[in-house]
Structure 1
Amino acid sequence: MKRHDPGTFVTCVYNPDRAVCRPPADTSEQPELGDCRPLACRNTALTPDNRDAHARHVADLDSALAQGDRLAPYIRHRLQQQRQDTSDFLTRHAPEPA
């Protein structure tokens, strides 16, 4: 397992056995960041800053969705799906109560 520098949205704690950025047969010691899918990957670790970035992203999506009929149906649908996926991710990774 190798820890990579924290990003804006996630910190990757790379374990090739759990990585969704690489096919199972690929045993590389590095994540493939271009194929990173942090909302689905079990290598994702969240810092408080990462959680804040996701929360800001949800707020940005809410602002975009407030445009209502100005958005093409496909764009509105994709933004709604992204908002739902991000909100679900934050719910699944809520910090443990102290």
Structure 2
Amino acid sequence: MQRGEHLLALTTDHQHDLSGPAAHEAATRLAEFHHRTGFTGSVVTDRHRLRRVLARHDPEVYPGTYAICVFNPDKALCRPRIPPTGSRSVPVPLDCKPLECKNVALIADNTRALSAEAERLDTRLRGGPVLPPLLHADLKRRRDAIGAFLAQAAGGSE
């Protein structure tokens, strides 16, 4: 239920200064989730109740380290699992491609994690033993892609 707790924190603590390609959709879904689960005389404090709330009002927003997935199976690059008949598809986090996917929104924690990843790559490229040319090129490409993605997300482009 960590996802549910994170969603509640995003909506109740207003921690979502969103950017990225799906920022507007994330804000809309989170606002609707907040409206549907907002204070109605009681507060969601236990896992059982949180499961029920998500079952009824799931915004299909999946917080992660590098991005928030605002899941739309038509745009997903993560090869959504084929659901059993009558249920909905879900994202596959291990196949997430946050730098390319249009389902991505970012909060400050995500941009910090991506920036730290780019710094680790930069450090690896500058120091230590000489890397094989293909590995060096791959790491440089990844570092540059992260930088371009963050610059684009900061510019508010969708």
TM-score, normalisation: structure 2 = 0.53
SS in 2 for 1:12: strand
Structure 2 residue corresponding to 1:3, chosen from 61, 75, 80: 61
Structure 2 unaligned segments of length 5 or more: list them. Answer: 1-58
CA distance in 2, matches of 1:40, 1:71: 26
Structure 1 residue corresponding to 2:77, chosen from 20, 24, 33: 20
Counterpart for residue 78 of structure 1: 138
CA distance in 1, matches of 2:109, 2:155: 13
SS in 2 for 1:70: coil
Structure 1 unaligned segments of length 5 or more: list them. Answer: none
SS in 2 for 1:91: helix
Identity of matched residues, %: 38
Counterpart for residue 33 of structure 1: 93
Deviates more, 1:66-75 or 1:43-52: 66-75
Distance apart, 1:34 and its partner CA: 2.4
TM-score, normalisation: structure 1 = 0.82
Question: How many aligned residue pairs are there?
Answer: 93
Counterpart for residue 115 of structure 2: 55
CA distance in 1, matches of 2:145, 2:155: 18
- 4+ runs of 1 displaced by more than 6 Å? none
Q: Given residue 131 of structure 2, which amino acid in structure 1 is its aligned partner?
A: L
Q: Which has the larger radius of gyration?
A: 2
Judged with a 3 Å threshold, the aligned counterparts in structure 2 of structure 1 residues 52 and 95 are, in CA distance, closer, same or farther, namely farther
CA distance in 2, matches of 1:9, 1:95: 18
- Per chain length, whose mean CA-contact separation is higher, i.e. which structure has more relative contact order (CA < 8 Å, sep 6+)? 2
Distance apart, 1:29 and its partner CA: 2.2
Deviates more, 1:81-90 or 1:14-23: 14-23
Distance apart, 1:60 and its partner CA: 0.7
CA distance in 1, matches of 2:94, 2:111: 21
* CA RMSD of superposed structures (Å): 2.0
